[in-house]
Homo-oligomer: A and B are copies of this chain.
């Protein structure tokens, strides 16, 4: 019989091996993909242009934020009580940011290599094209899984009982990078998308992905930097933060076992994802494709649920005890994790209901297009507002389930919520595969269109694109739902770490914190929407200029100047980034030191509340407008070119920056602020006067903002010229 300590060591090494196995699987898939046929020279030329544009953007992005990352990693060293922890926290922060950047960078780089191979494979068979597209996505998925698990486990093995202090740095690094990648990528992709649609579809009436459109390459680059790099970094961050909060709360509530259980669930998820994603293959039809992907998902779910149930049943049953259900002993930790899977499913169902072409909400938008753009926008707003109510009820339900399982003590209930988050993100590998599948097949379809592919191959790509739209929409709900659950768990960690008896909104200071916190997501959304709007205006003006001044462009005789549009998007995406980052970092510091720890708690609660509401509203309304437009393009109300279609395009264009920039950008923002609050909590509680390093950090960041603001102002002036 093994002793408890021995078992723990074995368990940790097993988890580590699984993490490494996940990474090896990703490498294996990458080698497989790179061996595939690269397609015709024409295709390769387009793919190359996308690749160059995408890399230029990411390099520029990394350069923009490098200084801030360096400043912060130094500042973090001073936030800890000892050199040992301080060093660990700084290194973990760098590790978190680098892992996050790696996931985004690699995911994007594989996507821009996979897309052309999918386009080429479409000439051979549907099955090949599907396999390549899906597996390219899986690479990113397994990187996320593997690196997230690896980081958490390594820190735990090295720091043992002090891991909590270091994990904060790891989580913070991941979230901050995700914030930049999500928002930067989101601004890029939507500026290009809105610009391409407004000049191409609305003004010039040329189809999507038409090579005559000067914005088309920027648009395809955008799919990669936003939907691949940004999305991957964002989910990595949720994956990482749920594990960080589960480990913090687990340790406080149940000691070592409380920490090992979430890691074990994750490891089972990685195994499940490896098995399930590898099983995805299909023959010819579209129906088969969706079925194959779903089958892979179900297989993964079964493997991992059986796995973590066994672990809970045989090893964890003393933790939080068990329920007797139908004569069977069901461990509480298992139930809480299972609640996460149920929540994921219900959030998916809600997302599906509010955004599917076949359901009443989208039909309502379609109906409203008949009376013009204004009613189209209004109906989308009302549907988005409604959807967010249901989503918040689902999340309130998850918290309620956690109370029912673990009781209403804040610590235990929060641990239950954290496990719920762990459960939701168990199958991150599959989720990201499905999500990245969207932009990859979208790109492949674009390359097919631009390179003049014809016949069956073209149809295969169009079908894949359509499947990709569905899978992308399905996984979006989970991304947001899990983000809020993670934020609620972090809030629980904050309560735990400040040891406050209560964070009472009946205290006027806390109420002020609540108000100010609740306002922040609105400020954030205002800035991101404005950034997209400004960038899109620049793009529209440039595209109009090209159509008006380049002779033979509309006839397809001359090539437009793609590079200028790519450059405009790249620059625009950087402009507001630092302001947003510094806003997220400074606001909790200011509230914490001015109004103290209890008000800071109110501030966090306010941010979680309105952040969640706005995020779901924006993503759902955006997707609903998008699908209303697609439904009309499928032939409703006169189809393409009708007045109804024009109204639907305006609705879609309004929704684009909401659903792909502002909405998803709120998730990492909420968590960056929560993590900063956790990091500064001990200093705030000790009521220390601002220490020198904090002053240095704050001043340097304010300086960075000032420069960024000045820079932004200058650019916006030149934009208005």
A536 CB–B CB distance under 8 Å:
yes
CA distance A506 to B146 in the complex (A): 33
Q: Closest CB of chain B to A113's CB: distance in Å?
A: 33
Evaluate contact between A613 and B650: CB separation under 8 angstroms. no
A110 CB–B CB distance under 8 Å:
no
CA distance A718 to B658 in the complex (A): 33
> Chain A, 335-368, contact with B by CB distance < 8 Å: what is the 0/1 string?
0000000000000000000000000000000011
Determine which of B373, B519, B612 lies in contact with A650 in the assembled complex, contact meaning CB atoms within 8 Å.
B373
Q: Closest CB of chain B to A505's CB: distance in Å?
A: 4
A395 CB–B CB distance under 8 Å:
yes
Q: Which residues of B contact A537 (CB under 8 A)?
A: 367-368, 370-371, 375
What residue in chain B is nearest A190 (Cβ atoms)? B378
**At the interface with chain B, which of A78-86, A382-390, A634-642?**
A382-390
Q: Which residues of B contact A504 (CB under 8 A)?
A: 502-505
Evaluate contact between B367 and A720: CB separation under 8 angstroms. yes
> Chain A, 599-623, contact with B by CB distance < 8 Å: what is the 0/1 string?
0011001100110110001000000
Evaluate contact between A541 and B371: CB separation under 8 angstroms. yes
> Chain A, 378-420, contact with B by CB distance < 8 Å: what is the 0/1 string?
1101111110110011011001101100001010011000000
**At the interface with chain B, which of A161-169, A312-320, A507-515?**
A507-515
CA distance A720 to B360 in the complex (A): 12
Q: Which residues of B contact A331 (CB under 8 A)?
A: none
A657 CB–B CB distance under 8 Å:
yes
A267 CB–B CB distance under 8 Å:
no
A518 CB–B CB distance under 8 Å:
yes
Which residues of chain A from 526 to 584 have any CB-CB distance to chain B below 8 Å in the complex?
A: 526-527, 529-530, 532-533, 536-537, 540-541
A70 CB–B CB distance under 8 Å:
no
Evaluate contact between B396 and A516: CB separation under 8 angstroms. yes
A194 CB–B CB distance under 8 Å:
yes
CA distance A393 to B488 in the complex (A): 25
Q: Closest CB of chain B to A269's CB: distance in Å?
A: 26
CA distance A509 to B399 in the complex (A): 8
Please judge, given known A-B contacts A371-B541, A610-B610, whether A382 and B529 are in contact too, CB under 8 Å. yes
Q: Which residues of B contact A400 (CB under 8 A)?
A: 512
Evaluate contact between B605 and A536: CB separation under 8 angstroms. no
Evaluate contact between B372 and A518: CB separation under 8 angstroms. no
Q: Closest CB of chain B to A196's CB: distance in Å?
A: 13
What residue in chain B is nearest A398 (Cβ atoms)? B512
What residue in chain B is nearest A531 (Cβ atoms)? B382
Please judge, given known A-B contacts A408-B507, A504-B504, A541-B371, whether A377 and B377 are in contact too, CB under 8 Å. yes
CA distance A150 to B327 in the complex (A): 68
What residue in chain B is nearest A609 (Cβ atoms)? B518
CA distance A389 to B518 in the complex (A): 9
Quick one: which of A373, A495, A503, A613 has the most chain B CB within 10 A?
A373
Q: Closest CB of chain B to A68's CB: distance in Å?
A: 23
What residue in chain B is nearest A198 (Cβ atoms)? B372
CA distance A654 to B376 in the complex (A): 9
CA distance A514 to B504 in the complex (A): 12
CA distance A512 to B414 in the complex (A): 12
Determine which of B379, B410, B495, B522 lies in contact with A385 in the assembled complex, contact meaning CB atoms within 8 Å.
B522
A525 CB–B CB distance under 8 Å:
yes
CA distance A386 to B510 in the complex (A): 22
CA distance A370 to B374 in the complex (A): 17
A523 CB–B CB distance under 8 Å:
yes
Q: Which residues of B contact A389 (CB under 8 A)?
A: 519-520, 522-523, 526
Which residues of chain A from 478 to 525 have any CB-CB distance to chain B below 8 Å in the complex?
A: 488, 491, 495, 500, 502-512, 514-516, 518-520, 522-523, 525
What are 16 A-B interface contacts by the 8 Å CB criterion?
A: A371-B540, A372-B650, A375-B533, A381-B525, A381-B526, A382-B525, A384-B526, A386-B523, A388-B522, A389-B523, A402-B508, A500-B506, A505-B505, A505-B601, A505-B602, A505-B605
Shortest beta-carbon contacts, A-B, top 8: A502-B504, A374-B653, A385-B526, A386-B526, A382-B529, A382-B530, A503-B506, A413-B508
Seen from chain A, the residues whose Cβ lies within 8 Å of a Cβ on chain B are: 194, 198, 202, 367-368, 370-375, 377-379, 381-386, 388-389, 392-393, 395-396, 399-400, 402-403, 408, 410, 413-414, 488, 491, 495, 500, 502-512, 514-516, 518-520, 522-523, 525-527, 529-530, 532-533, 536-537, 540-541, 601-602, 605-606, 609-610, 612-613, 617, 649-650, 653-654, 657-658, 720
Known: A379-B533, A503-B505. 5 other contacts (CB 8 A): A378-B533, A382-B530, A395-B515, A518-B609, A519-B613
